[in-house]
Amino acid sequence: IKAPKPSLEIALVGKYIELPDAYLSVTEALRHAAWAHGVDAKVRWVDSETLTADNVASRLDGAAGVLVPGGFGHRGIEGKVLAAHFARDRRVPYLGLCLGLQCAVIEFAREVTGSADANSTEFDMFTQHPVIDFMPDQRELEDKGGTMRLGLYPARLTPGSKAAQVYGQEVIYERHRHRFEVNNRYRQTLEGAGMLLSGQSPDGRLVEIVELKDHPWFVASQFHPEFKSRPERPHPLFDGFVATALAIRDGREVELGARPSPPPTEALTAGSPVMRPAADREDAPLSR
């Protein structure tokens, strides 16, 4: 980990960049994936509030990938949407996390499906095209307190998708912290224009992952994959993102695949020594 390595520069577009620790889980997950590929992740901090159509190219040009992390509120949103547009249009690897997925969907709806005012009802309650909206069972609630989708939930992946390739399995479990989702009314429109809804809740009601079929790596998740990344086990989405960015930078063919799982640890049972009260164990210290 500490040995000198070549660097891979990733542009992280957020609004809390004055305090980098606000994105600590994200940058650490990025480094986990970079280490696995023998490089160091160099983060280019980009303030989404200051991104405009006039400067987005100069601010993001040269980065091997663009990452838009989670967040809340309208401040800096248009800058994140511009970052998603830059990555899609220039075919630069893109990874969106939670709000980063929502910005990617908003951009795609505006620029590809022709819904120029597409938005999230979090930012514009009166948008004519609410491609991001409250979860279906929360739309009529007046008091939104305590209504976030929190914790670990399963998702089913589309066979053959980039997500399925890097996970190497059909059903995954990921951690969530959000209130807004892709609006199901726009699924057919988005899919018809080329966006693949490659991860969905088992009942098919909620979109968990989106990706673009004709892009080297434009993948975004509604959940927070950074929470499950480890130094010896980079998260599959970060791993695929870094692998693609590195291959494109080095002029190599992109090869995606799941990493071998680490050896399983011995399962603990009620009869295992470490699970029994200390006084009942053979290795317990004598009472004083």
The residues that are catalytic are 98, 224, 226
CA angle 253/106/114 to nearest 5° reads: 95
Would you list the DSSP string of 232-256?
Answer: TB--HHHHHHHHHHHHHHTT-----
242/118 Cα distance (integer angstroms): 30
Tokens 């890097």 -> residue: 166
Residues paired with residue 12 on neighbouring β-strands, in sequence order: 45, 67
Q: How do strand 195-200 and strand 149-157 relate by DSSP bridges?
A: antiparallel
Q: Classify 219 as helix, strand or coil.
A: strand
Radius of gyration of the chain (CA): 21
Alpha helices in the chain (DSSP H): 24-36, 56-60, 77-90, 99-111, 162-167, 187-192, 236-249
Residue 174's identity, in one-letter code, is E
167/221 Cα distance (integer angstroms): 13
Q: How far apart are the first and last CA of the chain?
A: 45
- Specify burial of residue 270 (Cβ count, 10 A radius: 0-12, 13-18, 19+): exposed
H or E element, residue 196? strand 195-200
